[in-house]
């Protein structure tokens, strides 16, 4: 079975500062990894995904994530955040042959001016 841990429930940061949102997963098999974003009062939308190949994945809105198999991590980064990046971010994992996504509990990113 797979599981996901998002270590930080909240991350406050000032505008134009860099940010890293942490995600660790557990699985005995190879995995697919996702980051979703949820803006206030909206549904989730896909930011980026890792399926295979290059471990550095670029997504929408200037976000990127790096898959690290040895550390079982998939941390999300942005070099310079904007007020509009204030949202909840969810890491998720699935495995070949399974039929569900397993979500972390989410990290609330709050960007201050």
Partner 1 sequence: NAGVTQTPKFRVLKTGQSMTLLCAQDMNHEYMYWYRQDPGMGLRLIHYSVGEGTTAKGEVPDGYNVSRLKKQNFLLGLESAAPSQTSVYFCASGQGVFHWNEQYFGPGTRLTVT
Instruction: Point out which residues bind partner 1 (CB under 8 A).
Output: 9, 32, 34, 36, 41-46, 49, 51, 90, 94, 96-101, 103-106
**Cβ count within 10 A of residue 36:** 21
Min dist. Cβ of residue 113 to partner 1 (A): 25
> Closest by alpha carbon to 84, among 37, 36, 22, 23?
37
Considering beta carbons, is residue 72 or 98 the nearer one to partner 1?
Answer: 98
Considering beta carbons, is residue 15 or 101 the nearer one to partner 1?
Answer: 101
Considering beta carbons, is residue 53 or 97 the nearer one to partner 1?
Answer: 97
Min dist. Cβ of residue 108 to partner 1 (A): 10
């Amino acid at each position: 079975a797979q599981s996901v841990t998002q270590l930080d429930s909240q991350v406050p940061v000032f505008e134009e500062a860099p940010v890293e949102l942490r995600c660790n997963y557990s699985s005995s098999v190879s995995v697919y990894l996702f980051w979703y974003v949820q803006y206030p009062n909206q549904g989730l939308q896909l930011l980026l995904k890792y399926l295979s190949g290059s471990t550095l994945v670029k997504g929408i809105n200037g976000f990127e994530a790096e898959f690290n198999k040895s550390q079982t991590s998939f941390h999300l980064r942005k070099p310079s955040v904007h007020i509009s990046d204030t949202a909840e971010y969810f890491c998720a994992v699935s495995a070949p042959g399974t039929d569900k996504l397993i979500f972390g509990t989410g990290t609330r990113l709050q960007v201050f001016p």
